């Protein structure tokens, strides 16, 4: 029997669609500050809610006019004179929930995207056009902010400088403090001036705590047999079934900014023959796919090795460690979703 496969889909996004798509993903459509449940044992979480709410209120209180007025006079900054808010903390503490809540609480034109979506927008529109369009917005929210290579460093630091000078407020989430971005991935020391200039524009809000996705919950279900995986894929309307290696190869030819469109409308993803990623490039593509699946609450079933074995010990002790742990956390939660059904 022939099953629908992700590798047979050909997602495309026009430049205008890229701009229109810059909104929180489906999982975060309905989140608000009052739906965030701070861990009572982690006071930084309740403080983060207050700081993020104050940040959004400050944007709304600013009734400045168009971008030419903002460029001349600027907008109000945070209490410490900075124009951006940077949520730093481990994975699974609700940073994306808070970022999306800021977006929802902000009035007027605004945009929201992952770091890779923002960089891809620049690639699609060009730097000047991206600055022009986003300068009309009151807020740019950037999730999963990270500097993975020198090109991204120069691009993003310049973009943030242009936008904040035009009065746009920037809110971002990351697992890395802004002045430590890029460490362990490339020769970040060569770009310290740019990194420090960018980080100086942000107030840092720390969000501490354990991964909420797994507090008091069982481990992910073990991988199943090929026959059981095929049977369940057939029984799940709207699902896909892909060979893991074939999917990894397919992702290599698809820009990560299209991974969300790739899985739109899918009810569940089934992966056959899962094993550890063969190299860092494949591993990072799997991280991006895991994030987009999680954004859309698309459950996952696998055969082969467990999802916790996607990344080698060497990877888990390298510069991308936090990304890999976040992916495992999210995929574990998604596989648990299907196990309950």
Q: Give the start-to-end residue ranges of the domains of the chain.
A: 6-10+212-339, 31-206
If residue 28 lies in a helix (H) or strand (E), which one and from where to where?
none
DSSP state letters, 79-97: TTS-SEEEEE--TTSSHHH
Q: Is the pLDDT score of 69 beyond 50?
A: no
How many angstroms separate the CA atoms of 65 and 45, rounded? 34
Q: What angle separates helix 127-134 from helix 115-125, to the nearest 10 degrees?
A: 120
Condensed to tens digits (0 to 9), the pLDDT of residues 196-219 reads 777 888 899 999 988 766 555 556
Q: Is the pLDDT score of 19 beyond 90?
A: no
The answer to which of 5-9, 76-80, 99-103, 230-234 has the lowest mean pLDDT is 76-80
pLDDT value of position 66 = 44
Condensed to tens digits (0 to 9), the pLDDT of residues 158-199 reads 999 999 999 999 999 987 666 565 555 444 455 556 767 778
Give the helix ranges, DSSP H, for the chain: 15-20, 43-61, 67-73, 95-105, 115-125, 127-134, 150-165, 192-199, 226-235, 244-251, 259-263, 280-295, 313-316, 321-339
Kindly report the average pLDDT of the chain as a whole number: 86
- Grade residue 74 by pLDDT with cuts at 50, 70 and 90: very low
Looking at the domain covering 31-206, what would its CATH class be? Answer: alpha beta
How many angstroms separate the CA atoms of 271 and 181, rounded? 33
Gyration radius of the chain over CA positions? 20
Q: Is the pLDDT score of 130 beyond 50?
A: yes
155-to-8, 81, 111 alpha-carbon distances in Å:
33, 24, 18
pLDDT value of position 214 = 56
pLDDT value of position 183 = 55
- Grade residue 72 by pLDDT with cuts at 50, 70 and 90: very low
């Amino acid at each position: 029997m022939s099953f629908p496969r992700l590798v047979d889909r050909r997602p495309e996004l026009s430049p205008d669609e890229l701009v229109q798509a810059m909104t929180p993903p489906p999982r975060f459509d309905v989140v608000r500050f009052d739906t965030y449940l701070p861990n009572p044992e982690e006071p930084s979480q309740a403080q983060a809610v207050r700081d993020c709410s104050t940040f959004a209120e400050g944007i709304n209180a600013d009734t400045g006019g168009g971008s030419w007025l903002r460029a001349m006079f600027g907008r109000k900054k945070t209490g410490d004179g900075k124009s951006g808010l940077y949520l730093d903390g481990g994975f699974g503490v609700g940073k994306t929930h808070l970022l999306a809540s800021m977006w929802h609480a902000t009035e007027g034109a605004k945009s929201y995207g992952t770091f890779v979506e923002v960089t891809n927008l620049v690639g699609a529109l060009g730097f000047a056009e991206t600055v022009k369009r986003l300068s009309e917005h009151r807020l740019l929210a950037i999730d999963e902010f990270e500097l993975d290579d020198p090109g991204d460093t120069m691009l993003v630091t310049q973009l943030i400088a242009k936008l904040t000078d035009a009065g746009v407020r920037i809110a971002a989430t990351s697992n890395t403090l802004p002045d430590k971005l890029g460490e362990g991935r490339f020769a970040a020391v060569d770009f310290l001036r740019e990194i420090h200039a960018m980080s100086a524009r942000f107030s840092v809000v720390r969000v501490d705590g354990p991964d909420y996705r797994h507090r008091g919950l069982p481990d992910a279900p073990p991988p199943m047999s090929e026959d059981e995986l095929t049977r369940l894929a057939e029984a799940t309307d709207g699902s896909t079934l892909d060979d893991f290696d074939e999917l990894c190869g397919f992702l290599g030819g698809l820009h990560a900014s299209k991974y969300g469109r790739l899985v739109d409308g899918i009810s569940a993803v089934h992966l056959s023959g899962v094993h550890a990623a063969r190299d860092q490039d494949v591993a990072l593509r799997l991280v991006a796919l895991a994030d987009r699946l999680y954004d859309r609450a698309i459950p996952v079933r696998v055969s082969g090795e467990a999802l916790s074995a996607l990344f080698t010990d060497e990877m888990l002790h390298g510069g991308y460690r936090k990304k890999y742990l976040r992916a495992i956390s999210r995929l574990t939660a998604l596989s648990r979703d299907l196990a309950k059904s």
